[in-house]
Structure 1
Amino acid sequence: MKSALTLLASASLALGHATFQQLWVNGADHGTTCARLPRSNSPVENVNSQDLTCNVGGRTAGHFGLCQVPAGATVTVEMHEQPNDRDCNRPAIGGNHFGPVIVYMSAVNDATTADGSNPWFKVAEFGYSPQQQLWGTDVLNENCGHFNFVVPAGLPSGDYLVRAEAIALHVAGSPGGAQFYMTCYQITVTNGGGSSVPSGVSIPGAYTANHPGILINIWTGDINNYVIPGPPVVSV
């Protein structure tokens, strides 16, 4: 007989797919204006796939707009399981899809045409809090899909891509089991106070399939020392 944990993890395979969809700037709702909306709510599972950059088809901008974001602003990315379903009574990402939430930015010449090949620097993350027994995805579910970060005040003005990502680890105990959910947003940073952009990493390229934050059994392993994938958050 399968254990309760095994059954729970298996059942979650069919549940919980989601996408980051909306963007807020200093409390103002910009909806999906500047989001490169994924074609579906299914995950990317290959850390070496070009789809890891901005989801399936997301390296081509299409006809999405720009959101104006002052440097130092509080920006909120918003995730839901289904398109345009912002019902806070439903989970942002259900099905026991526990894992970290990470936000990257990338400086580009034109956010409406950039393909995501420029370096990405990390601006926010939430992995696992042993004290609160809380995952980054729990933060999403407890806040109507919202995850806040601050655009560094020291960034130069100009166009950027924002990449919001949740990594579901419910079946990540074997290689290729981690599920990556990401969306890229097109923004223009205004009133920037700096002259240089932080160094960054390539996506794909920043992750490996055997990274301890990607290849992990969260049901039986030691998650109190969970290591978030990718580089450290920048200080600008």
Structure 2
Amino acid sequence: MLSSLATIALMALSASAHYTLPKVNGGGDWQQVRRADNWQNNGFVESITSPQIRCFQKSTAGASASLNVTAGGTVTYSASPNIYHPGPMQFYLARVPDGQSVNSWSGDGAVWFKIYGEQPNFGGQLTWPSNGKSSFSVKIPSCIRSGYYLLRAEHIALHSASTAGGAQFYVSCAQLGVTGGGNTEPPNKVAFPGAYDANHPGIKININYPVPTSYQNPGPAVFQC
């Protein structure tokens, strides 16, 4: 039987291999990002049918502030401590309906459109540029309407994804106030849960052997102005 110290050490090692996505543009942890349910244990969402796949929250508790950004500007999302596992970073936006509060809006329904999907490097093994990084910048489309948005950051860890349910989803949602936008309404909006299939080749995949020569990101195509 493991001693209590050995058990604690194993738990610490397990937690250190995981991570959170807690802040944007150098702000404090969970200030402009809604506090995700993994804020204390660095855990992940396992089921794509769980409501937590949206913002990793059992509730719809808002952040204490929102980040103001100009359409066409850049938001830098931070990971803590860093992206430990291989897999793609993806970003989605959802506009808060006029008359509703960004602090309480749930993001329910087919309201999300993708603005970034990371592709891997191919070679002797499949690697993603995000692996090992602690910050990632994403451009807010210049043509979208002004207003309040949820920015959903998602990292899909694929190191154990050779069977359905093996992928790990690290997710959080930042609150944005977008100004200076256009009048374009993005197509191909999806819902979370609902956007992903557990057997999608970008979610159920053996990245180790045989080494894939292509990769298909789950979800809709990336929206471009």
Report the TM-score when normalising by structure 2: 0.84
Corresponding residue for residue 165 of structure 1: 154
Instruction: Note the 1:62-101 alignment, pairs <5 A.
Output: 62-81=62-81, 92-94=82-84, 97-101=85-89
The secondary structure found in structure 2 opposite 1:53 is helix
How far, CA to CA, are the matches of 2:108 and 2:92 in structure 1? 13
Structure 2: segments with no counterpart, 5+ residues: 1-12
Cα RMSD (Å): 1.9
The secondary structure found in structure 2 opposite 1:129 is coil
How far, CA to CA, are the matches of 2:24 and 2:198 in structure 1? 30
Corresponding residue for residue 18 of structure 1: 19
Question: Is 2:37 the partner of 1:39?
Answer: yes
Instruction: Note the 1:80-229 alignment, pairs <5 A.
Output: 80-81=80-81, 92-94=82-84, 97-109=85-97, 110-118=101-109, 119-130=111-122, 134-138=127-131, 141-142=132-133, 145-229=134-218
Corresponding residue for residue 6 of structure 2: none
Question: Is 2:55 the partner of 1:54?
Answer: yes
How far, CA to CA, are the matches of 1:221 and 1:203 in structure 2? 31
Identical amino acids, percent of aligned pairs = 38
Distance 1:69 1:207, change over 3 A: same
Which is further off, 151-160 or 223-232? 223-232
Is the 8 Å Cα contact of residues 33 and 63 (structure 2) preserved in structure 1? no
Report the TM-score when normalising by structure 1: 0.80
Structure 1: segments with no counterpart, 5+ residues: 1-12, 82-91
Runs of 4+ in 1 over 6 A off after TM superposition: none
How far, CA to CA, are the matches of 2:35 and 2:68 in structure 1? 18
Q: CA deviation at 1:63?
A: 4.7
Q: CA deviation at 1:69?
A: 1.0
The secondary structure found in structure 1 opposite 2:154 is strand
